[in-house]
């Protein structure tokens, strides 16, 4: 897929770090980035737009602790009807701009019974349950054709983040994220099956972006906010509103953790 033409201001900014903010987590851009500029997705020719509540639909670029950062304030999902090459286009664009490290965040349902809403989880591996792969298609002119997925999420950087969280008494889990297509939440039977496969949390994003980033040689860190217990793990029904409410409740702690992770990268 052809990369869009970007404004000179963004090209000249030369971002080092990319951020993708998940459902209910877009506040980080407003709270912690010393903003240099905004670029709404709608102003980029041929670019997808966010259709999910809580996704602002723009790039924000600026500084976090002196690091030059470009941030997706609102991501794209497979369930919105976009092709894989469309929803991973921002990662290829970040690579073109010079991004070397990508932080992919999401709201996720907790499968591991020790997880509680409001926990954070570093992703140390993932299970692609989307039924497809973002690298299917014509051979690209950058990156490798058959990328190794032994260590998608950077081990050394995860260790630094764990050490920092422990020093700050922040409850930080580490586990396996399983991606489904959505937009329906999972059934209790599906959650039991995913637990058998080894999944600790489930969501509807992150994996396509992580795969493409690794194909391009970008370091990846995945961070989930456990916003609810997965289907069958709690007594009540699931809702998108619950996801947003839980994310807002841990706003300060999440912002502290992500800002520290960026500084450590």
pLDDT in tens, 55-105: 578 999 999 999 999 999 988 999 999 999 999 999 999 999 999 999 999
Q: Under CATH, what is the fold of the domain 8-248?
A: Rossmann fold (3.40.50)
Model confidence, pTM: 0.93
Residues of the chain with confidence (pLDDT) below 50: none
What is the model's pLDDT at position 55? 58
78 secondary structure, DSSP code = G
What is the model's pLDDT at position 162? 97
CB 51 within 8 A of CB 7: no
What is the model's pLDDT at position 249? 77
Q: Is the peptide bond before 183 cis (omega within 30 degrees of 0)?
A: yes
Q: What are the sequence ranges of the domains in the chain?
A: 8-248
Residue 139, exposed/middle/buried by CB under 10 A (0-12, 13-18, 19+)? Answer: exposed
Neighbours of 255 (CB within 10 A): 16
- Which residue, 138, 172, 152, 123, is CA-closest to 215? 152
What is the model's pLDDT at position 129? 98
CB 126 within 8 A of CB 206: yes
Those residues with Cβ within 8 angstroms of residue 60's Cβ, 6 or more apart along the chain or in another chain: 29, 33, 35, 37, 38, 70, 71, 73
Burial 65-97 (b: 16+ CB within 10 A, else e): eeebbbbbbbbbbbbbebebbbbbbbbbbbbeb
Active site residues: 23, 55, 77, 79-80, 107, 204-205, 228, 240
Those residues with Cβ within 8 angstroms of residue 193's Cβ, 6 or more apart along the chain or in another chain: none
State how far Cα 233 lies from the chain centre.
Answer: 24
* 187/189 Cα distance (integer angstroms): 5
- Which residue, 42, 43, 39, 49, is CA-closest to 70? 39
């Amino acid at each position: 897929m052809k990369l869009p033409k970007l404004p000179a201001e963004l090209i000249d900014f030369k971002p080092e770090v990319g951020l993708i903010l998940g459902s209910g987590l877009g506040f980080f851009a407003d709270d912690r980035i010393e903003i240099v500029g905004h670029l709404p997705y709608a102003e980029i020719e041929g670019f997808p737009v966010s259709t999910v509540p809580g996704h602002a639909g723009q790039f924000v670029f600026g500084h976090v602790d002196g690091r030059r950062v470009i941030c997706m304030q609102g991501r794209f999902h497979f369930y919105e009807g976009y092709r894989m090459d469309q929803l991973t286009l921002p990662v290829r664009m970040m690579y073109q701009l010079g991004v070397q490290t990508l932080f992919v965040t999401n709201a996720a349902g907790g499968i591991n019974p020790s997880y509680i809403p409001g926990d954070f989880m570093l992703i140390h591996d993932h299970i692609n349950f989307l039924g497809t792969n973002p690298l299917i298609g014509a051979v690209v002119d950058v990156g490798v054709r058959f990328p190794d997925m032994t260590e998608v999420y950077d081990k050394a950087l995860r260790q630094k983040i764990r050490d920092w969280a422990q020093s700050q008494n922040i409850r930080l889990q580490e586990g396996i994220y399983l991606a489904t297509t959505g937009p329906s939440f999972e059934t209790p039977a599906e959650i039991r099956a995913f637990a058998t496969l080894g999944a600790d949390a489930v969501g509807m994003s992150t994996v396509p972006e992580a795969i493409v980033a690794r194909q391009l040689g970008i370091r990846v860190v995945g961070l989930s906010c456990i916003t609810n217990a997965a289907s069958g793990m709690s007594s009540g029904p699931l809702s998108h509103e619950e996801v947003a409410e839980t994310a807002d409740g841990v706003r300060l702690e999440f912002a502290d953790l992500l800002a520290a992770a960026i500084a450590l990268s």
